[in-house]
């Protein structure tokens, strides 16, 4: 679902004289839109206190013009832009968008339901909420190839043979989890136990990527 903020009188004119061709098409080349998660940002920055506004709910599948998600103003978010006039037939719903008593805007209740299902929304943020490389610095010289070995007995045997050198320690609520370096056929590789259970494996996997590993192979049972 795409949203576009518009004055009621402008929309009434667009419906009677389609297609909708706002001034931004001539000045910037596109129609500004937002996702449900984004719309309050432009609303509160540009339309504070305006009382005649509507939200056009646009089905992106019905938009006949090019639709591009991009960050034109270095906001850190990619907003949807429609590069051409909008056919009113692409608008599946029109929602009143009155301001609060202080002039600010809140998401209408009918649209707030969409926020309960973030997987349905396009997130234009270029930086994830959980981004390991923001918190973890790359480990200098770490090999890019990494084996995720689920078998502790194999790791213990290699350690007893003196083939492993600990270079890092992954940590979680269950305690430290060593990351080793070893040599195989003259090539240095990383060896680590990835933990047990999908959430912990994903957590350690992301951290190893942030450290500098890029090529992974898993060694385990139960279909691994």
How is domain 2-120 classified at the architecture level of CATH?
Alpha-Beta Barrel (3.20)
CATH topology of domain 132-219: Rossmann fold (3.40.50)
pLDDT digits (tens, 9 = 90+) for 113-145: 666 455 665 565 566 666 777 788 999 999 999
pLDDT digits (tens, 9 = 90+) for 50-108: 999 999 999 999 999 999 999 887 778 899 999 999 999 999 999 999 999 999 999 99
The DSSP-derived string for 89-132 is: GGEEEEEE----TTS-----HHHHGGGG-GGGS----SS-SS-H
What's the confidence (pLDDT) of residue 119? 62
SS3 208: helix
- Residue 223: burial class (beta carbons within 10 Å; 0-12, 13-18, 19+): exposed
Section 193-207 average pLDDT: 92
Instruction: Note if the bond before 32 is cis, omega within 30 degrees.
Output: no
Cα 70 to Cα 18, 33, 108, 116, 186, distances in angstroms: 26, 11, 25, 24, 46
What's the confidence (pLDDT) of residue 132? 79
Domain boundaries for CATH 3.40.50.1580 within the chain: 132-219
Parallel, antiparallel, or unpaired: how do β-strands 145-149 and 187-192 relate? parallel
pTM metric for this prediction: 0.54
Domain boundaries for CATH 3.20.170.20 within the chain: 2-120
More confident residue, 135 or 35: 35
Nearest one of 3, 5, 8 to 112, comparing CA atoms: 3
């Amino acid at each position: 679902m795409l949203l576009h903020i518009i004055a009621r009188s402008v929309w009434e004119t667009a419906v009677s004289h389609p297609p909708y061709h706002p001034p931004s098409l001539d000045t910037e080349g596109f129609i500004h839109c937002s996702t449900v998660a984004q719309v309050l940002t432009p609303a509160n920055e540009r339309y504070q206190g305006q009382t005649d506004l509507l939200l056009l709910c646009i089905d992106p599948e019905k938009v006949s013009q090019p639709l591009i998600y991009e960050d034109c103003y270095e906001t850190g978010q990619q907003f949807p832009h429609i590069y051409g006039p909008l056919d009113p037939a692409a608008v599946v719903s029109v929602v009143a968008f009155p301001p609060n008593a202080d002039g600010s805007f809140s998401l209408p209740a009918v649209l707030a339901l969409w926020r309960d299902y973030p997987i349905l929304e396009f997130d234009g943020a270029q930086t994830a909420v959980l981004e390991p490389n923001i918190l973890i610095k790359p480990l200098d010289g770490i090999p890019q190839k990494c084996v995720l070995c689920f078998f502790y007995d194999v790791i213990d045997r290699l350690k007893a043979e003196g083939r492993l050198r600990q270079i890092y320690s992954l940590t979680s609520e269950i305690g430290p989890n060593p990351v080793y370096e070893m040599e195989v056929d003259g090539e240095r590789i990383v060896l680590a136990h990835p933990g047990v259970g999908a959430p912990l494996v994903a957590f350690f996997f992301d951290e190893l990527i942030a450290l500098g590993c890029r090529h992974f192979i898993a060694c385990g049972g139960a279909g691994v």
